Structure 1
Amino acid sequence: MQLLALLVFAHSAVAQQPTAPRDTSFTTYSAYTKAKKQNPAISIARPTVPRSVQKQMNVAYCTQGTHALMLDVFYPKPSRRKERPAVLLVHGGGWRSGDRSQHVPMAQQLAAKGYVAVTAEYRLSTEAPYPAAVQDLRAAIRWMRANARTYGIDTARIAVWGFSAGGQLASLIGTTNADPLYETGNCYPTHSSSVQAIVDVDGILAFIHPESGEGDDRKNISAATHWFGSPKTEHPELWQQASALNHVSPKTPPILFINSSVDRMHAGRDDMRQQLSKLGIYTEVHSFPDAPHPFPLFNPWFEPTLNYTVDFLDKVLKKR
């Protein structure tokens, strides 16, 4: 553990470097253009925003160095029910690209269903390596609890939802509740960053696993190698440490897996479900056999993804 802490500290030191130019290789439009070649009937999901949904945009939740990290909040209009469950949504993009705005449509629809939904940015690998992204998102959860009264958040009912790299981050956050490795910084340190439910949308659960394609640098340096700052052959302990599969315990919250047809994007899922089943922890899995990896951004998969998410969160978070 001491060696791991030293390695993480050394990697975190990179976070003090100036912010690199933003990697825009993964956008909703670029993903759509690519996916449409094999799925000509798809369209970008832009559902109508219900009038009941309020928003607060571009809120700074934590400052790392000179980078003020931002989030957006979507929430139902006030009602007699003062406290509502909340969801932090985490975007994908290989830990180096993507943007929180990609899941604004999902956040808006979750707010219409009675949830306080937050989309947060985090430091990407072009700026800071692992575990900076995990630490940032934990700070976002602490911000949610610190501002619970403003937005009507029930601090005992917070979930984390993530797509692709965001799904990996969501699963790691949920399986490492209270782990001091990820509880660094001065942003709302008196508040908890624990979550009570996880939704992993096509996020990897194990980096060093027969099903995983991460770390194959023969043609190009993989996204995970960029994020960890070194190949898995040099520091496999970091790759293992960041794998949610290796953190399953009796304290792991319920988890929903929503997956595409790309098996390597959810490497370790079945092994994780087996472990959780033995511990009596509730899980669900829903798959779209013909869907491309970025399916939650597009119709016809957006609505069923929303429905699976709401049904699960209603089951494990909402008070009866």
Structure 2
Amino acid sequence: MFSFLAACSPLQIVDHLTPKTGYERVQGIPYAEGPRQTYDLYEPSAPRRDAPAIVYFYGGGWKSGDKDKYRFVAQSLTKAGYTVAIPDYRLYPQVTFPDFVQDGAAAVAAVAARLDRPIVLMGHSAGAHIAMMLTLDPRWLSAAGLDVDSTVKATVGLSGPYDFLPLSDDLQPILAPQGDPEASQPITYARGDAPPLLLLHGTADTTVLPKNTKNLAAAIAGLGGDVTVKTYPKVGHAPMIGAFAPALDFLAPSRADVLAWLRDRGL
């Protein structure tokens, strides 16, 4: 056992420790034609009546990530009675902004059509960026045949990059290949009539600085929007989502706070 764990990545260890009961998983449901344009659907064994579905976007700097490594997030949310969809999306260098946002919109549209119920968007890091772009800029879901304000009932962003200009040299070719960096910033599309937002961030995050959450929250609040912010002293980047795993919930109360916030809004 210990030799096996020593050879695994942190996400593989978390997956190994995650229960495989309490849900039914359907893998590789296509939402477009490409090999990375599929999602996994997790149906809880004990669903909450009239609960929305949660579409979760993982992080990875828009250049890495795999839905199979985030079963622990789905298990954690299905345990609370939610149906969960986790899409893959195309990555750099195969694509650049805004292609992965368009993939996110297509995935949400496919999930909404399959389940015929409201959606809560949720994401961590680069996934929070995608979720927030879909929430704040109606063009993407509209192009996929959805009205964002009637489809998306709330959005949860964990450790998200929302306001991070100037772009670093490594991000410039990913997010501003045509030389328009402001177009890639969720704060550019801040609006007071957006669905309710929950923004969570660790104060010790050096990967995505906490000012991203602070600045977006201030912009939304200044426009009269519904935004809630929770910060976690001494918590870094990865523990914010790692704490959703059953064996790692001591890292941060992020899971409990997300579920409580959703319940408070009748979701």
What interval of TM-score do these two structures reach, taking the shorter chain for normalisation? Answer: 0.7 to 0.9
Residues 286 and 50 (structure 1), Cα distance of their counterparts in 2 relative to 1, 3 Å cut: farther
The percent of aligned pairs where both chains have the same amino acid is 21
CA distance in structure 2 between the aligned counterparts of 1:241 and 1:216, rounded to whole angstroms = 15
CA distance in structure 2 between the aligned counterparts of 1:80 and 1:44, rounded to whole angstroms = 26
Matched, 1:202 2:159: yes
CA distance in structure 2 between the aligned counterparts of 1:216 and 1:63, rounded to whole angstroms = 32
Cα deviation, residue 307, structure 1: 1.2
Question: Which amino acid is the alignment partner of residue 166 of structure 1?
Answer: G
CA distance in structure 1 between the aligned counterparts of 2:181 and 2:219, rounded to whole angstroms = 20
Cα deviation, residue 287, structure 1: 2.5
Alignment of 1:15-54 (within 5 A): 29=9, 44=14, 48-49=18-19, 51-54=21-24
Alignment of 1:52-67 (within 5 A): 52-64=22-34, 67=35
Matched, 1:294 2:243: no
**Partner SS, residue 71 of structure 2:** helix
Question: Which amino acid is the alignment partner of residue 306 of structure 1?
Answer: R
Aligned counterpart, 1:277:
221
Matched, 1:216 2:141: no
CA distance in structure 2 between the aligned counterparts of 1:132 and 1:61, rounded to whole angstroms = 14
Alignment of 1:160-175 (within 5 A): 160-175=121-136
Aligned counterpart, 2:51:
84
Residues 243 and 123 (structure 1), Cα distance of their counterparts in 2 relative to 1, 3 Å cut: same
Aligned counterpart, 1:304:
253
**Partner SS, residue 196 of structure 1:** strand
Aligned counterpart, 2:3:
none
The number of residue pairs the alignment matches comes to 251
Gaps of 5+ in 1: 1-27, 33-42, 209-213
Alignment of 1:148-163 (within 5 A): 148-149=115-116, 154-155=117-118, 158-163=119-124
Cα deviation, residue 55, structure 1: 1.6
Gaps of 5+ in 2: 1-7
CA distance in structure 1 between the aligned counterparts of 2:219 and 2:9, rounded to whole angstroms = 38
Cα deviation, residue 192, structure 1: 4.2
CA distance in structure 2 between the aligned counterparts of 1:182 and 1:175, rounded to whole angstroms = 10
Question: Which amino acid is the alignment partner of residue 258 of structure 1?
Answer: L
| 1:50-104 residue CA offsets vs partner (Å, 9 max, x unmatched) | 743222112112124xx461111112237693x4211111111110012122322
CA distance in structure 2 between the aligned counterparts of 1:94 and 1:301, rounded to whole angstroms = 25
| 1:240-259 residue CA offsets vs partner (Å, 9 max, x unmatched) | 11211111112211111221
Aligned counterpart, 1:251:
193
Point out which structure has higher relative CO (alpha carbons under 8 A, 6+ apart).
1
Larger Rg: 1
